[in-house]
A and B are shown apart, each in its own frame.
Chain A
Amino acid sequence: MKIVCRCNDVTEEDIIRVIEEGHTDIEEIKRILMIGTGPCQGNTCMIHLARIVAKYTKKYEITTVRPPETPVELGVFADEE
């Protein structure tokens, strides 16, 4: 068993299973397994996910990068009043 996403506990085996079920779009795989949606923002897992998917699709892609770059407290953005 190889852990790929440490935030959401997703393994390489999980990813391969989802691909074999017919979900080959990396955006789709992200949403089924929630990989890359934890506090690390995909910074540790995305390259591995991209590599595993590319083995099947022959296309190296990553998912859309969502801001903020690192988790930020709402209080930082709120107006001071």
Chain B
Amino acid sequence: MKNDVVIVGGGITSLMTAYHLLNRGITPVIVEKNYLGSGATGRCGGGIRQQWSTAENIILARESVKFWERFDEEIGGNAHFRQGGYLVLVYSDEKRYIENVKLQNSLGVPSQWLSPEEAKEIVPYLNIENLIGATYCPTDGVAYPFSVVFSLEKYLTKRGVKILKKAEVLDFKYSDGIVEEVITNRDKLKAENVLIAAGAWSRLLLEKLGKKIPNQPYRHEILATEVMKPWLKPMVISFDTGIYFSQTYRGEIVGGIGMPEQPGYKLNSTLDFIKRFASVATKIIPAMKYLRVVRQWAGFYDVTPDARPILDRVEGFENVYVACGYSGHGFMISPEVGKIMAQMITGEAISHDISNLSMDRFKKGVITKEANVVG
């Protein structure tokens, strides 16, 4: 049997694309080398933010928020999506943030500039010493990655999507720019179309097709504290220090901070990370020094030179597509990315101008970097 679409990777991009393909009458097959969400998806902080510095990211996030708002209704599970907003703390270069707010407002995102005192109204425990101000978007929020993954798994399998777990793609059989088979450690899957959505491993899969992309995997560490009653409404984030943290629906604080890292496939946890997170977090909210850390772990950022994703058909191939390179913000924009990839695969008109997210943009020389990233 020939499969219409084989999706390599079982993370959020894959699941969302599968959802949008189903809406178009196509039942894809998902191939995952471990379990669903075992890559970056299940390791991420679950933040959903529209406060970006580039138009594409703002639009992708804005449209995605509309989906997150109706996820439970549409999918039938529970994303635990909570719109407590994102509070971006600003300690330098406020001009840039005010420009960002202008751009975001022009694209319909209701972000605003706040004085330190106004920021403190949103987070009463906030230490506003040295704080110039903050930007705040009340419709930003957080969702719970594993609740999202397992809700989607149920939805998709009920509708006939085959999900092969513990199936690792080893190679592709192709000729004349057409992939015919996806070869896994268990099976050979005949494919009409192939989508590579394997996060930080996408570049290795593309190499098997003789294609190179400049993505690099960077470890990003994160931790969770003990559970408390709700006290923190927004996701608190600062690009000056690279820290972010929010409270999940379970009541734990989940947060991370950018560390100096070399690219590579390592995922061990470090004491340096926990020390740096603790030092910065307890300056922002001194009362957090009494909070106990329960768990720390790490995941990969699949980082491109401009910190923006690659959403494209693989050059030189007629039936292979790639969606990767989110540089740490794939989860939040996945609903709209899934739609775009489903449109691309079915040959429909794509809802957005994604020419800046092409695979070959790095060869052309001029790229605009997304500035609002941590880590």
Contact = CB atoms under 8 A, between A and B. Distances in A.
A23 B154 CA distance: 11
Contact of B278 (A28, A34, A39, A74): A74
Q: Summarize B's interface: helix, strand, loop or mixed.
A: mixed
A73 interface: yes
Contact of B250 (A34, A41, A64, A68): A34
Give the one of A66, A68, A76, A78 with max B CB within 10 A.
A78
Contacts, number: 81
B293 A27 contact: no
12 contacts: A25-B165, A37-B224, A38-B294, A41-B294, A66-B296, A67-B295, A73-B289, A74-B290, A75-B278, A77-B277, A78-B282, A79-B275
A78 B38 contact: no
Contacts of A47: none
A64 B290 CA distance: 26
A17 to B, nearest CB: 13
Contacts of A27: 35, 38
A74 B288 contact: yes
A72 B292 contact: yes
B201 interface: no
A68 B275 contact: no
A78 B101 CA distance: 33
Contact of B226 (A25, A32, A71, A76): A71
A78 B269 contact: no
A2 interface: no
Contacts of B295: 37, 41, 66-67
Interface of A: 23, 25, 27-28, 31-32, 34, 37-39, 41, 64, 66-68, 71-79
A62 B277 CA distance: 28
B281 interface: yes
B37 interface: yes
Interface residues of B, number: 34
B274 interface: yes
B146 interface: yes
A67 B289 contact: no
Given A32-B150, A78-B281, 8 more contacts: A25-B166, A31-B42, A32-B146, A38-B294, A74-B282, A75-B289, A77-B293, A78-B278
Contacts of B150: 31-32
B165 A68 contact: no
Given A25-B35, A74-B278, A79-B279, A31 B294 contact: no
B191 to A, nearest CB: 24
Contacts of A77: 271, 274-275, 277-279, 293
B91 interface: no
Give the one of B271, B291, B292 with max A CB within 10 A.
B292
